[in-house]
Structure 1
Amino acid sequence: MKLTIKEIEQKLGTIKDEKDDFFRQLQKDERKGVQAIVKKWQRLRELRQLQHEKFINMTVYERKYRQEGYQLIAGIDEVGRGPLAGPVVASAVILPHDFYLPGIDDSKKLNEQKREQFYTQIKEAALAVGLGIIDNDEIDRLNIFAATKKAMSLAISQLEPKPDFLLIDAVKLDIPYQQEPIIKGDGLSISIAAASIVAKVTRDRILKDYDQEYPNYGFANHAGYGTKEHLEAIRTYGITPIHRKSFSPIKEYIS
C-alpha cells in the first residue's frame, strides 16, 4: 500500500541523502503531490548546503586567529549610526569554538522573525555578550563616530570572560586589545554577524518602546531612520526628546 502524502513528508524529514532507497523510490512515484514534495526537499537540501558553505566561509577569521593562539575572540558591531532618533547600540559577542548556526548573516539581510530567532540562539550559546548603548543626547555632544566607538568600548568592557582578540566591523578602537577591523565584517565573520544581530534586535526593541511613548512617529516601523513617514511626522508634530539635534534635518527645525 502506498504511503499518503503526509506520511511521505514525515519520513522525508529523516532522510539526509538523495542516494537513500526511500528517496529513489519517491522519484519514481508519478503522483504530482509526491513529485512536489521531492522538489521541495531538494530545494531545502540545496539551501542548507549553501548556508553551510557560507557559514564555513564566515569562520575564516576566527580559524585564522585561533591557529595563532587566540581563544576568546569577540566580534563587535553597532547599529544606529544613521537614524535621526534614538541611541546607537553596539554589541560584543564571544562564541564558543563549536558554535554552528547556518543562515547567520549581517542582521540587515535577515527578516525580523529570523533575527529574533537567531538572537535567542546566540544568547543561549555565547560564552559572553556585552552591550553598549549611547543615547541621542550623548551622540549630539560627542558626534556619531565618537559615540559609536564609545558604545563598542562599553560593550567590550562588559564581556566576562574577557576577550583576547577583537574582530570589529570597520572600526579600529583605541583600547589595549589585539584587533582587526574588517570592512563589511558582519557578512564575513560569524562573530561580527552575531554581534550585529544582538545589537539590531536590542535597538529595535528600544525603538518599539519609544513608539509606545511617542505613538505619532512610527518608530516601531522605521526605527528612527529618515523615512517619508518619519519626516512627515516631524513636520506635523515637531521633534521629540529622542531626536538627534545635531543631525539634519532635525537641527534645521530648532535653528
Structure 2
Amino acid sequence: MKRRTDEEISAPLYAYDADIRAQYGCFAGVDEAGRGPLCGPVCVAACILDPEDPVYGINDSKKLSEKKREVLFDQIVEKALAYKIVFVGPDIIDRDNILNATMGGMRQAVEGLDIVPNLVLVDGNRIPAGLTMPAQPVVKGDATSASIGAASILAKVSRDRYMLELDKQYPQYQLAKHKGYGTKLHYELIAQYGIQPFYRRSFLKKQGYWPEGK
C-alpha cells in the first residue's frame, strides 16, 4: 500500500476549514492535552492557521509519533497567524474540577490570541462559558479540522515538554515515561515516594487512592 504524503493526510482537514472560513472568515481551533493524568497541568491551545501557508501533516496529535509532533509544533508556531498556549495547574483543577478548569483554560487561550476570531471551533461536545465570540463544538475535531488539529499538537507537545522538565526535578517518579498518567508503575512510585505539590489530589481521592502518611 502506498504511504500517504503529509499533504494527503491533512487535505481533508484543510478542506473542512476552508468551508468554515467561507462562512465565517477568520476562525480559531481550540483543544487540550492532559485531562486524564494524576499530576501536572492540563494544557490548552488556541490556533488560527494561515490558509495561504499551510502546515502539511496536521492530524489528531494522538495519531502522530512524538518525533512528528515535535516537527509540526515548530512549523505551526512559525506559520500560524496567531496562537496561544495556556497551562492550568493542579491547584485550579482541584478547586474547580477538571472540566471547569479545562473550559476556563480554553477561554483564556482564545482571549489571549493576538487576532480576534469570528468563530471558535472547540474539540469535543462542549464550549466554554463566557466567550465573547460565537463557538461551535466539534466531536473528534482534532481529526476533522486542521485548526483544531494544530491546537491539539501545540497542547500535547507543550505539556509533554513540561512533564519532561518536571521529570528532571523529580526523577524518582519517572514522569518522562508515563507523563503523569495512572499506570501501575506510577501508582507504585506514588506509594513509595508520596504526594508532591504537582499532584491532582482530587484525582487521587476520587479513585480511592490516597497513601496514608504521605
Give the TM-score normalised by the residue count of structure 1: 0.77
Is residue 122–residue 141 contact of structure 2 (8 Å, CA) maintained in 1?
A: yes
**Percent identical across equivalent pairs?**
42
CA distance in 1, matches of 2:61, 2:178: 15
* Aligned counterpart, 1:47: 4
* Aligned counterpart, 1:83: 37
SS in 1 for 2:37: coil
Letter in 2 for 1:47: R
Q: How does 1:53-92 map to 2 (within 5 A)?
A: 53-68=8-23, 70-92=24-46
Moved over 4 A (4+): none
**134, 142, 153: which one aligns with 1:186:** 142
CA distance in 1, matches of 2:80, 2:57: 17
Question: By how many angstroms is 1:212 displaced?
Answer: 1.1
* Aligned counterpart, 2:209: 252
Question: By how many angstroms is 1:254 displaced?
Answer: 5.6
Is residue 194–residue 211 contact of structure 2 (8 Å, CA) maintained in 1?
A: no
CA distance in 1, matches of 2:72, 2:15: 21
The structure with more radius of gyration:
1
* Aligned counterpart, 2:190: 234
**102, 106, 110: which one aligns with 2:64:** 110
SS in 1 for 2:204: coil
* Aligned counterpart, 1:155: 109
CA distance in 1, matches of 2:113, 2:208: 36
* Aligned counterpart, 1:198: 154
Give the TM-score normalised by the residue count of structure 2: 0.91
Structure 2 gap ranges (5+): none
Question: By how many angstroms is 1:102 displaced?
Answer: 2.8
CA distance in 2, matches of 1:184, 1:213: 35
RMSD: 1.7
Higher relative contact order (CA 8 A, sep 6+): 2
Is residue 186–residue 193 contact of structure 1 (8 Å, CA) maintained in 2?
A: yes
Q: How does 1:99-178 map to 2 (within 5 A)?
A: 99-170=53-124, 171-174=126-129, 175-178=131-134
